[in-house]
Structure formats: C-alpha cells, structure tokens
Chain A
Amino acid sequence: MDLTGLGLRVTAARPHVLLATVPGGAAVRLAAERLLSSRDWPQVPTPAQADLLLVAGPDSPESQAALERLWRDLPAPRARVHARTADEVEAALDAGRALLGSPAVQHESAALPAEAGGHQEGEHGSRERHEGDGQAPGHGGEGGGQGERRADDAHGGPGGGHTPHDAGQDREAEHGDGGQAHDDQDADGHGNPGGHGGHGGHGGGRTEMPGGLPMAEQGADRDGLALDQLHVSLGPFLADWPAGLTIRLVLQGDVVQRAGVDEPATPAAGGAAEPYWAQPWLRVASGERVPVGEAVRRRAAAHLDSLGRLLAVAGWPAEAVRARRLRDDLLSGAPRAAVAPRLERFTRRVGRSRTLAWLTSGIGVVTAQKAREAGVSGPAARAGGDVTARYRQWLTDIRRDLPRLEDAAPLDVAMEESPRGLWSAEDPPSAALIALLPRLLEGAELAAARLVVASLDPEPDELAARSAVEVARG
C-alpha cells in the first residue's frame, strides 16, 4: 500500500496556504481569501506550516527574491501557484491541489534539495533590491528562469552573496564577512548601493559562526543598558500585513528600538498599479462618472478589511472572519437590507468589547493635531487618539455609510474622502500614514507595533500610484 501517496492525497484535500500578496494584488487577495475560507483551506503565516504558496497579484520583479526565499523554505509536499488576477485564483488553487496530490511531482520536489533551487552562484551577487523603484525594469530582464534566480542577495551588504542558506551546506567556505553585512545593515537600514562584488574573500579573519550567521550584537537600549539587538523585518510577506510594506526593526527582547520603512515595492512597470481601495476616486480623477453609492460601499469594505486585519493581529480570529465575510458581501454588491443587521451586530460586539478596548488603549496615540500636522486626513485623523479610538472610528464610519450604499449621485472627490483620507494622486493619504510609523513604533512592544500598523493600515499601493503619476509627468 502506498502510504505516502495516501498522505499526499490527504494533503491535497486540505492544503494549508501561504498567501503572499504582492504589490497591486489587493483584489486577488480578496478573491483568494474568500475562496480559501469557503473551501476550508487554512491560511498559515509561515512557510514551515504551508503546503501551497499562492502568489496573489501582478508580476513584481522586486518581490521575486523574497518569494523565492519563502518558496525554498516550504517543505515537501509543496506547490507554488501564481494568480495574477482575481479570476485566476480558482484555477490557480485547483492547479495547486493537483500538484500537491501528484506523487511524481512531489517526489521530485522532495528530492531536489534547496541547492537546486537557488544555487546559481556568481554574477548576481551585487544586485540590490531596495534601492527604489527605478530599477524594476532592469531586474525583470535578468536572471532568466525564475526558479533559478538567486534570492539570497535580497539583503545587500557585502555579505549578500553568502547567506545562511548556502552556508548550511558549505560551511567551510570563506563566508566570514557576515558580521560586516550586519554592520552595514545597521548603519543605513538597507545596505549600501554600489559594488560589493569584491568582498567575497575577505572574511578570513573572522571567527566562523554556525550557519554562517553572526551572533546578535549589543547596543544601548532606552534605559542605557547594553543589550543584544536583533534585526527583524516586518514585511514584505507577513500575514495580516499591508502588502508591499517593509519595516526593518531593531529589536531588544521584544521591544522595537528602531524602525525604518523601506521604499514600498511597486508592481512591474506598465502593470495595473491601481490601488484597489481608491479605485472609485481614481476613476473620477480620470473623468469618469462614479455613483457615490459605489464609492461608499468600497470605503466601508475597506474599513472592514482593515478591521479584519486588526482583529486578526489582536488575536480575535472569530471576529476577524466575520469582518471579512461582511467585506466580501459588501463587495459582491449585497443590498443594504441583507448586510445591515449583521453589520449592526458586528459593530456592537467589537465596538463595545471592553476587553479589546482595554488591550488596545494607550497604544500608538496620534492626536488630531499631530495627525493634521503630518498631513493625515482620514479616519485616523478624525479619531485622534489610540488604537481603540481608531478602530471605533472605522466602525462609526461604516455605520454612517450604511444608508448611502445605493446612492446614485455622482461622486465628488473633494467631498467624500477615500478610505484612508482625502484623495490626491500627488500626495496619497497612505503616504502620510506611513510617515507616521517609525516614530510610533520606536519603543513599542512587538505586539503593540503590529497593532499600531494594523490600526493605521496604510496601503502602499497608493504610493505606487503616485510614482506612476510622477513617471507620467517626468
């Protein structure tokens, strides 16, 4: 009896999915979340737990290295599928299931150790990933087959060519300059652009650490103690996290000591860089006539999406699922009467939860004045307070929008704010939210930091739209 084959079939019956949303993939993510929930395919946050890597969104050369990293960390049985548009999700999931259930494919996948995936040594060693969007086209062309592409150079710095993953296999090699990579990383957050091809052999003097990684180094903390620091990044591919946002943290214990935001990655040039949640506003800007009801519906759904994220981060999965169901119902055009009672129950349960308010109070305070000074105009500014105030503001806004879901009057961009604030292509509301983040995160606990980000919930895709505007002008 082929027990392994049986196990594969069972795995394929309920695959655990690692959903990686690339920039510009919001609509695909929504379709995927809806489908995964209805099929009872659990979404998992890390590769170790996953069988299926579902990449949601348009091709994004800048995200390729990080996707490769995730993919190489998935243990067999595994499959990787890519849904570029919302319509492709169902087919992609079915393809993934077929791949997972196929013994031939999986035996091959397991027999190919990681070396085969990413061990093309050499010429890509100095490539940088975080220098900004100008490089995107160049990246797309190089590297050939995606499966062969080295993902290890994502980090930049002199150690870029020699990563833990390699060194696990070839420990003897001269990879000692990892510590230096760490220093550089420390200095400017994302490695120095420029040639580091020559550093490869300079590591001889250092003590070799297991796995080719340096140990954590000390740094002064806020109380003046010298403590070990860990460099951990939140994003680009993190569950319940804005797609395309990367925040690099220096952690001491679980306290964020420093936080730096990377320039958001952008979809491939020429791709649909339209931020999904601001679509009605963009369409008005391009001269189209959009009914207010549609915009209001999109805004309420956006708030529900943000709430779903916040509740998931706050560890309340049952209510997060409810928020996402309501969001999906709104987006699928459900009439007000069908949604209103459930929405009412949801806003009551979450809005009046004393426990949730107790757990989120005093975290990430942004006063109304500070918000205005920072150029924030949306719910975050009107809430003027902590995480509690902000999620309650979302709930209030949703209830306020509810009677207008079927309003057919034309949308006035100056009157109706987009989900994250008054829409302006030059200065999208999310830019101000992202600018707030480093100051709010520093000194916060990791859990609090996640709550702060989730309660502001910036949409990096909006920034991509801005750079598209700039490109068009320039």
Chain B
Amino acid sequence: MSATTAALSLLGISLIAVGGVYGAASVVRIGSGALGAAPFGSGLEPTEHAVSRFHVRWYTVTMLFLAFDMEMVFMYPWTRVISAMGPSAVIEMFVFLAVLVTGVVYAWREGALRWT
C-alpha cells in the first residue's frame, strides 16, 4: 500500500465513519423537522446578523507570524542536510532566525504584541 493510498483510505474511512454517525442520527432522531431557533443572546432576540467585519486587533501579530511561517518552509528541509552541509548550514539558519527575532523584539517594543 503506497503512502498516498494509505492517506486517502484513512480519509475515506474517517469520512465514512462521520457519515455513518450523521446517518444513524437521521434515523434515530426525534421529530422530522428542524427547530427554527435563534442564536443565543442571553435570552434576548438578536438585533443583527453576527457575521460582520470583525475587528481583528491582533493583525500585526499575523504579519510577524507569516514571516516565521515562511521561515519554517526553509527549516523543515534544512533539518535533513545539516551534516551534509556542515557548520555553514547551521550558521546561516540561525543568523536568519536571529534577524527574525530582532524583528520580533522591535515589534514587541513597539507594542505590537499587546492589543488590550
């Protein structure tokens, strides 16, 4: 069994299981129709749709995160070649990380990691 087959089979099995649970519920559940309900508002009616342009006040952190996430793309393959490449690989990677951490320290001092 190849890895792809295994992954797809596992996905298939879990989806079948999930589908089975939904199927069982549709047979067993009480009543035929769905209950028309309102979202929880502590007992009061909702006044508008909740889906809205959410004020994401930590957006600066997402920028920092993206920088590090890109760095991870390099770091995963890097783990495999450390011995082959020698000290230069380690030095380059950690100098790169040091540059990023300097950026984090700057962002921290600017207050980008606090939003309350």
**Chains A and B share a contact (CB less than 8 Å):** yes
Interface residues of A (CB under 8 A from B): 3-4, 7-8, 20, 45-48, 63, 65-67, 69-70, 72-73, 75-77, 106-107, 109-111, 113-115, 152, 154-155, 163-165, 168-169, 178, 181-182, 185, 209-211, 213-217, 221, 225, 227-228, 230-238, 241, 246, 252-255, 444-445, 448
Q: Given A3-B27, A238-B42, do A114 and B36 touch, yes or no (CB 8 Å)?
A: yes
B43 an interface residue at 8 Å Cβ cutoff?
yes
How many Å lie between the Cα of A233 and that of B54 in the bound state? 17
Closest 4 pairs (CB-CB, A-B): A110-B31, A253-B55, A66-B43, A216-B52
Interchain CB contact (< 8 A) of A107 among B30, B35, B46, B53:
B30
22 residue pairs bridging A and B, Cβ less than 8 Å apart: A3-B28, A7-B30, A8-B30, A48-B37, A66-B42, A69-B41, A73-B37, A76-B30, A110-B31, A111-B32, A155-B47, A165-B45, A182-B47, A213-B48, A214-B48, A215-B48, A216-B49, A225-B55, A233-B42, A246-B44, A253-B54, A445-B116
CB of A215 within 8 A of CB of B49, answer yes
B56 an interface residue at 8 Å Cβ cutoff?
yes
CB of A448 within 8 A of CB of B116, answer yes
Q: Given A7-B28, A215-B52, A228-B52, do A181 and B37 touch, yes or no (CB 8 Å)?
A: no
Interchain CB contact (< 8 A) of A216 among B27, B45, B48:
B48
How many Å lie between the Cα of A258 and that of B30 in the bound state? 42
Given pairs A69-B44, A217-B48, A235-B42, 8 additional interface contacts (CB within 8 A): A47-B37, A70-B43, A165-B36, A185-B47, A214-B49, A215-B48, A228-B52, A228-B54
Interchain CB contact (< 8 A) of B30 among A4, A215, A444:
A4
Interchain CB contact (< 8 A) of A75 among B37, B48, B50, B57:
B37
CB of B56 within 8 A of CB of A253, answer yes
Q: Which residues from B are CB-within-8-Å of A234? A: 42
CB of A164 within 8 A of CB of B45, answer yes
Q: Which residues from B are CB-within-8-Å of A165? A: 36-38, 45
Q: Given A110-B30, A114-B35, do A236 and B42 touch, yes or no (CB 8 Å)?
A: yes
Q: Whole-angstrom distance from the CB of A437 to the nearest CB of chain B?
A: 15
CB of B49 within 8 A of CB of A154, answer no
CB of B36 within 8 A of CB of A113, answer yes
Q: Given A111-B31, A253-B55, A253-B57, do A232 and B41 touch, yes or no (CB 8 Å)?
A: yes
Q: Which residues from B are CB-within-8-Å of A110? A: 30-32
Q: How many chain B residues touch A (Cβ–Cβ < 8 Å)?
A: 29
Question: What is the count of residue pairs linking A and B with beta-carbon distances less than 8 angstroms?
Answer: 137
Interchain CB contact (< 8 A) of A154 among B33, B44, B52:
B44
B29 an interface residue at 8 Å Cβ cutoff?
yes
Interchain CB contact (< 8 A) of B47 among A228, A231, A236:
A231
B40 an interface residue at 8 Å Cβ cutoff?
yes
How many Å lie between the Cα of A210 and that of B27 in the bound state? 30
CB of B116 within 8 A of CB of A152, answer no
CB of B48 within 8 A of CB of A77, answer no
How many Å lie between the Cα of A8 and that of B31 in the bound state? 12
CB of B45 within 8 A of CB of A69, answer yes
Residue of A nearest to B25 (CB): A7
Q: Which residues from A are CB-within-8-Å of B42? A: 66, 233-238, 241, 246
Q: Which residues from A are CB-within-8-Å of B32? A: 110-111
Q: Which residues from B are CB-within-8-Å of A155? A: 44-45, 47
Q: Given A3-B27, A4-B30, A238-B42, do A227 and B53 touch, yes or no (CB 8 Å)?
A: yes
Q: Which residues from B are CB-within-8-Å of A225? A: 55
Q: Given A114-B35, A165-B36, A215-B52, do A255 and B45 touch, yes or no (CB 8 Å)?
A: no
Of B31, B32, B45, B116, chain A has the most CB atoms within 10 Å of the CB of B45
Residue of B nearest to A253 (CB): B55
Q: Which residues from B are CB-within-8-Å of A4? A: 28-30
CB of A230 within 8 A of CB of B50, answer yes
Residue of A nearest to B33 (CB): A113
CB of A73 within 8 A of CB of B40, answer yes
Q: Which residues from A are CB-within-8-Å of B40? A: 45-48, 73
